[in-house]
Amino acid sequence: MKKLFIVLSVVALGFTSCGEASGEASGDKKKAEGSSQKAIPSVVCDCIDSRLNMMKDVMNGMSDEDAELKYAEDKKTCMAMGEGKTPQEIDALNKEAEDCASMEEFKKIEKELMEKMMSEEMMDQGLEAIEDRVSPE
């Protein structure tokens, strides 16, 4: 679970660094009209959707290893699309990601998953502390 937490943290930051900035203006127009989803499909939103599905699978009991295997190709594709971008391009991609229809749910599930992992980590640390105190060493 610790490994997945690290991966999700890195990927969550990288998600908004993937895709094309080509739909930025249309996203602003749609947002102004009250819609959070763009008229044209977005590669950035595809990445957000993939990570959202991965997090849901983990929350529903899928092992870290199975989730990594299932979503490995999507993760690789999303991370590769962000390579070589300028800070301005990354800012545009971040803005585009915020306009994705699934972003609100992504943030909610990400928060729940992080809380779950932190709780498990604290439990593990507590058990280790107890074991250290009762250890015959």
Domains of the chain, by residue range, sit at 2-134
The whole-angstrom separation of Cα 124 and Cα 126 is 5
pLDDT for 93-103, tens place per residue?
889 899 999 99
Residue with tokens 């390579």: 83
Q: What is the pLDDT of residues 2-13, one digit of tens each?
A: 454 444 444 444
Question: For residues 19 and 95, what is the distance between their CA atoms, to the nearest angstrom?
Answer: 12
Angle, vertex CA 83, rays to CA 59 and CA 51, nearest 5: 15
Give the pLDDT of residue 122.
Answer: 82
For 20, what's the count of Cα atoms within 13 Å in the CB-facing half-sphere? 8
Tens digit of each residue's pLDDT (9 = 90 or more) over 63-77: 989 999 999 999 999
Distance of alpha carbon 116 from alpha carbon 130, whole angstroms:
21
CA distance 71 to 62: 12
Paired tokens of 131: 């074991």
- Rounded to two decimals, what is the model's pTM? 0.61
